[in-house]
């Protein structure tokens, strides 16, 4: 059971753990949680998903709009500060004016932005 559980995706792990916990009845969530090394809330969420038919047919593993928001939308002035930082370190193709690059690493850009007061 454990090796099969490890081979599943995140969504399928939740649901498989929920099915096994429901089969065991009382104390099943605690037992399966210890067996698979997952949080009991994960199994509870899996049980909730199994009870909603619309979630079962969903192909998504995680719900939409999850995750970290883009820095451009959360840090005011980052776009302008970035352009100022890389302006003196930018080179381009003499043939194609739309091809440009910089010789700065991501860490160097981050350090220069921090000097301008923008912390990433």
Residue 117 CA to its chain's centroid (Å):
27
Q: Is the pTM above the cut of 0.85?
A: no
Cα angle for residues 107, 110, 111 (degrees, 5° grid): 85
State residue 92 phi and psi, 5-degree precision: -150, 170
| pLDDT digits 0-9 by tens, 27-80 | 999 999 999 999 899 999 988 888 876 656 666 666 667 778 888 888 888 888
CB burial of residue 41 (10 Å; 0-12, 13-18, 19+): exposed
Please state, in angstroms and rounded to a whole number, the distance separating the CA atoms of residues 82 and 16.
46
- C-alpha separations of 21 from 36, 100, 119 in Å: 11, 56, 45
pLDDT at 12 over 80: yes
């Amino acid at each position: 059971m454990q090796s099969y559980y490890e081979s599943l995706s995140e969504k399928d792990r939740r649901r498989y753990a929920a099915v096994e916990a429901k089969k065991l009845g009382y104390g099943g969530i605690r037992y399966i949680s210890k067996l698979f090394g997952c949080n009991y809330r994960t199994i509870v969420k899996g049980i909730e998903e199994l009870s909603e038919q619309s979630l079962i047919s969903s192909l998504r593993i995680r719900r939409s709009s999850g995750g970290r928001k883009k820095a451009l939308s959360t840090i005011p002035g980052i776009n302008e500060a970035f352009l100022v930082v890389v302006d003196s370190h930018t080179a381009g193709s003499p043939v194609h004016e739309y091809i440009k690059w910089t010789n700065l690493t991501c860490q160097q850009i981050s350090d220069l932005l921090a000097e301008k007061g923008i912390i990433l």
